[in-house]
Structure 1
Amino acid sequence: MRTHHEPARVVVTGIGAVAPNGLDAESAWAATSSGRSGIATLTDVELDGLTVTIGGEVTGFDPSAHLSRPDQRRLSRYAQLGVAAAREAMSAHVTDEGAPPFRSDRFSVLAASGYGPTEVTHLGTRSLGAKGPRGVSANGAVYGAHDSLSSYLSVEWHAQGPSHAVAAACASGTVGVGEGMRMVRHGYADAVLVVTAEHSLNVQDIAATANIRALATDSNDAPERGSRPFDRSRSGFVMSAGAAALLLESEASARDRGARVLAEVRGYGCSSDAHHATAPHPEGVGAQLAMRQALADAGCTPADVGYVNAHGTSTPYNDATELAAIAAVFGEHAHRVPISSTKSTTGHLIGAAGALEAIFCIQAMRDRMLPPTINLDDPEFPEFDLVPHVARTAAPELCMSNSFGFGGHNATVVLAGVAS
């Protein structure tokens, strides 16, 4: 067993995703890299009274393809999406009997989400009001928490290492990847399956987020244009559902079992603004700190970074603050490095966003293609290279992915490609 004195290199050997524009990792990447939006008018939400009627729904998802009928009833849609992404990430690694290739006590599952299975709480509250205490389902005690996803998967794959959940609002997915990386790097696990998921497309969560003026309210008639990061006309983010999973393991573990390495998680930084419940720090001090930490952890300089997947939510404050923070950290390189926001095609998957965007970075390095920022018709920040409208051929060796969230949460990962 490694100790904290012998840090291990941490590699990615599996990816999986369920997104508004694709039901698996490759479909989502094909759509995003070609600029196809997954945002549309909501069909599975009661829209009466809502000021926002668009979102990134996961359409065509069939839970029966992944879960038994009893498990479909027990697990929230948040967990169902997470299970699908996790199984895709693990698909090339389990035996014919469904067993993972890791020692049980050295394998962990880490779930990450911002909202978690809120619909379980909503349904329980309605049942309490309509039927009284006896009408409340007992399922809520187990399946109404963020860790219902990691618990379920740890049982499925007999993962006896630490398996739990983290929540850091919109930075949750990146925090999950970073903390999973640290678990492997410092010898607490040989492999960690990081699973991030979100399904907050319901009346309560949409209404609450719209009421704090965070959502785009001017695009109900043109859903695909709702998410337009860095554009002067941007008015807010578009809420989406989905999931993403990455299998992280030590380089030694991957080598010993002959696993295909997709990328390396080279660096991670995490910070808090300590400023406001929803607004980012006006000078982006927390965002700067997370990026600086990630670069230092990766042992690289800003000039080494060939692409930045921005948090880029399409809110007026976030976009301006993030670019100012990048300029402060990257210096002159800030105006040369390509930066794009894939949320322009997927919408904002909240707690799952960071993991999905880390996967997009891995695919960008693999395919030598930078995904575009669509809907960028009137750039407010023309001094930055924001990869407008269409993908671009490029071969970055290092990518940075940023995630910033309500509560002042900031997280950044630096990923490295593998030699072709």
Structure 2
Amino acid sequence: MSERVFVTGLGAVTGLGLDVAALWQGLCQGRSAIRRWQPEGVSDFPVRYAAPVDWNAFQCAYRSAFWWQTPMERRSRFGLAAAEQAVNDAGLTLLAGDERRLGVAIGSGAPERDPSDLLLALGSDGPDWQRLYRRFAELNPNSGLVNGNDQLATLIARRFDLAGPVLHFSTPCAGAAHAIGHGFRMIRRGEVDAMVVGGADSVLNLPTMIGLLLLGAPSIAEKYGDTLCRPFDRDRSGLVAAEGGAVLVLESERSALERGARVYAEIVGFGSAMDAYCITAPHPEGRGAALAMQRALRDAQLTPDDIDHINAHGTSTPLNDPAETLAIRQVFGDCAGRIAISSNKSMLGHLIAAAGAPECIATVLAVRDGRVPPTLNLSQPDETCDLDYVPGSSARAMPVRAALCNSFGFGGLNACIAVQRHA
């Protein structure tokens, strides 16, 4: 059995705004969510810029929600809000049939930690986990020390009374893409009628940002101010961390047609691969990335000539961008030069485990609308990054028959999703 898989609902909370309209309009208009930032209570942290969600606006929009008082991590709040948007957008509550045919697949990363929680473990003799356990009641109820890492997936399932499979993916920067891909495959195999898929993350807390800084991942440059996220540019200097959540509703063709659902686009393929090279760097030849794209194309029964757009992983790091360029050249050969490639991270920042979710939404809308967002801040292309990265500050109008969305994570975990226009 092989079901076609349609996208019937979208939801997003990002630094560009609190819904999908704000996300898509911001990307097409070349608006950036990146601004000056410091961790709470710190004034001299080396990382000076990030792409946070407007927390005050988010609270105003959702503090009346019945779930607001439930203890949960910040990222889970973003993800649950995005899931509500997507489910409502899809009219999923109108889906007829057995509720066990509806499932959830979500990607998120390392648990958020409140520094004050960790201080509870300290005594005159140093840190002691038993001391922390004894003071459990004093922990921040919204921190990752209290909430399970799969919290968002279970919250969504409970919120909408979904009794189908509930999956959580923690595969660094490819987490949301893996969730979307596996949700797609479950529907295609006929195991479920619909899946609520995507991811949410917030690394904008001191413990997590210290970890990323020790890995050498985020940019600490100040030369370009809030335009320092420069994918494929010779002056790129590292990723810019972000937060937020994005969710899609995927549904079988049969189910969508039976209830007259609106269809944004069709998910037609998924590929995943492992670099097996280095925990903190991609293979310099992009081997794992190339294999993921090849597998997505094969899974979708598409050829390189069918692809008009690639939503690149495009992290603005010295190692990723040339490796991704080599991978695209390896897969697409002579076709590589005509493909419109863009990095949403130049405007959204890097949502880490959730990155693939808003980027997949942008890919879906690029296919639907025939508009490819730009790669912002690309003023001096690196000589090793010599493809068409849609430079400028506004979307390019062009037919997009099919597109790929790349997500490549720490440890060489690679995922690629193939999207096709709905006929």
Q: TM-score range by the shorter chain?
A: over 0.9
**Contact 2:13–2:81 (Cα < 8 Å) also in 1:** yes
Which secondary structure state, in structure 2, belongs to the residue aligned with residue 332 of structure 1?
A: helix
Residue 86 (str. 1) matches residue 49 (str. 2): no
Which secondary structure state, in structure 1, belongs to the residue aligned with residue 294 of structure 2?
A: helix
Q: How far apart, CA to CA, are the structure 2 residues paired with 1:64 and 1:156?
A: 21
Q: How far apart, CA to CA, are the structure 1 residues paired with 2:151 and 2:50?
A: 25
- How far is the alpha carbon of 1:21 from its aligned partner? 1.1
| Superimposed CA distance per residue, residues 288-342 of structure 1 (whole angstroms, 9 cap, x where no aligned partner) | 1100000000001011001001000000110000000000000011111111111
- How far is the alpha carbon of 1:114 from its aligned partner? 2.3
267, 272, 281: which one aligns with 2:283? 281
Tell me which residue corresponds to 1:135: 135
Report the TM-score when normalising by structure 1. Answer: 0.92
**Contact 1:41–1:53 (Cα < 8 Å) also in 2:** yes
Tell me which residue corresponds to 2:342: 340
302, 305, 310: which one aligns with 1:303? 305
Q: How far apart, CA to CA, are the structure 2 residues paired with 1:411 and 1:199?
A: 21
1:302-321 correspondence to structure 2 within 5 Å: 302-321=304-323
354, 357, 363: which one aligns with 1:355? 357
Tell me which residue corresponds to 2:21: 26
**Contact 1:235–1:316 (Cα < 8 Å) also in 2:** yes
381, 399, 409: which one aligns with 1:395? 399
Instruction: Specify whether residues 234 and 333 from structure 1 end up closer, same or farther in structure 2 by C-alpha distance, changes over 3 A only.
Output: same
Q: How far apart, CA to CA, are the structure 2 residues paired with 1:363 and 1:332?
A: 26
Choose 381-390 or 194-203, whichever is displaced more: 381-390
| Superimposed CA distance per residue, residues 78-107 of structure 1 (whole angstroms, 9 cap, x where no aligned partner) | 100001110110113458xx6765521101
173, 178, 182: which one aligns with 1:175? 178
Tell me which residue corresponds to 2:413: 409
Instruction: Specify whether residues 145 and 374 from structure 1 end up closer, same or farther in structure 2 by C-alpha distance, changes over 3 A only.
Output: same
2:149 alignment partner AA = H
| Superimposed CA distance per residue, residues 273-302 of structure 1 (whole angstroms, 9 cap, x where no aligned partner) | 111111111211111110000000000101
Instruction: Specify whether residues 222 and 73 from structure 1 end up closer, same or farther in structure 2 by C-alpha distance, changes over 3 A only.
Output: farther
- How far is the alpha carbon of 1:189 from its aligned partner? 0.9
Tell me which residue corresponds to 1:3: none
Q: How far apart, CA to CA, are the structure 1 residues paired with 2:248 and 2:33?
A: 22
Q: How far apart, CA to CA, are the structure 2 residues paired with 1:179 and 1:195?
A: 11
Structure 1 residue ranges (4+ consecutive) displaced by more than 6 angstroms after TM superposition: none
**Contact 2:39–2:206 (Cα < 8 Å) also in 1:** no
Q: How far apart, CA to CA, are the structure 2 residues paired with 1:105 and 1:312?
A: 38
Instruction: Specify whether residues 93 and 330 from structure 1 end up closer, same or farther in structure 2 by C-alpha distance, changes over 3 A only.
Output: closer
Tell me which residue corresponds to 2:218: 215
Tell me which residue corresponds to 1:52: 47
Which secondary structure state, in structure 1, belongs to the residue aligned with residue 197 of structure 2?
A: strand
Structure 1 gap segments, 5+ residues each:
1-5
2:326 alignment partner AA = A
**Contact 1:111–1:146 (Cα < 8 Å) also in 2:** no
Q: How far apart, CA to CA, are the structure 2 residues paired with 1:191 and 1:175?
A: 16
Tell me which residue corresponds to 2:149: 146
What is the RMSD computed on CA atoms of the aligned residues? Answer: 2.1
Report the TM-score when normalising by structure 2. Answer: 0.91
**Contact 1:230–1:319 (Cα < 8 Å) also in 2:** yes
1:44-123 correspondence to structure 2 within 5 Å: 45-59=40-54, 60-63=56-59, 65-66=61-62, 68=65, 71-94=68-91, 101=96, 103-115=98-110, 117-119=111-113, 122=115
